Structure 1
Amino acid sequence: MPQSSGEAIPPALIDEALERVLASRGFRGSARKQRFLRFVVQETLAGHADRIKAYAIAIDVFDRDASFDPLLDPVVRIHAGRVRRCLEQYYLTDGAADPVRITIPKGSYVPQFLGPQFPGPQFTGVPAMAPFAGLQSRAEHQTAEHQTDSDAAAPDEAADAPPPHLTSPPQSHPNPPPSRPLRARFRAAVRPRTAALVSAVLLVAAALLLALWGAGSIRREPPGATMSASMGRGPALLVLPFANGTTDPSQDIFAEGYTEELIGALVRFRNVLVFGADTSFRYKSAAALREAEPNLPIDYVLKGSVALVGEQIQVTAVLIDAKTRRYLWSDSVRRDFTAATMVDLRQDIAARVARALVQPNGVIEEEEARHAADRPPTALSSYECLLRARQYWRHLDAALHGQVRTCLERAVQADPLYADAWAALAMVIIDETRLGFNPRSTDPNPVATGLELAQRAVALAPDNPLPHQALGLVHWLRREPQLSIAAYERARALNPHGPDILADLGRCYSLVGDWQTGIPLIQEAYARNPAQPSWYRIVIATYHYVNGRYDEALAEAQRVEVPEFVLSHVALAMIHAEAGRKSDAAREVREILRLDPDFGAKIVTELERRNIAPPTIAKILDGVRKAGLAVPSG
Structure 2
Amino acid sequence: MVQKQPLRVERRLSAILAADVAGYSRLMHNDEEATHTELTALLTDAVYPALTEHGGRVVKHTGDGFLAEFPSAVEAVRTAMHFQARIKELTVDDMEGSRLAFRVGINIGDVIVEPHDIFGDSVNIAARLESIAEPGGICISASAYDQVLGKIAAEFVDLGEQRLKNIARPIRAFKVVDPGAPARQRRTLALPDKPSIVVLPFQNLSADPEQEYFADGVVEDITMALSRFHWLFVIACNSSFTYKGRAVDVKQVGRELGIRYVLGGSVRKAGNRVRIASQLIDAETGAHLWADRFEGVLQDMFDLQDHVTASVVGAIAPKLQIAEIKRAKHKPTENLDAYDHYLRGLARARRWTREANGEALQLFCKAIALDRALACAYGMAAWCFVRRKARGWMVEHVQESAEATRLARKAVHIGRDDPVALCFGGYALAFIAHDFDDAAAVMDRGLAVNPNLAQAWLLSSWLRVWRGEPDLAIDHVEKAMRLSPVDPSLYGMLGAAAYAHFLAGRYDMAASYAEKAMRENPTFLLAICAFAASSSLAGQPEKARSGLAQALQCKSDLCASNLKDLAPFRRSEDLVRFEEGLRNAGLPD
Bucket of the pairwise TM-score, normalised by the shorter protein = 0.3 to 0.5
TM-score for the superposition, normalised by structure 2: 0.44
TM-score for the superposition, normalised by structure 1: 0.41
Higher strand fraction (1 or 2): 2
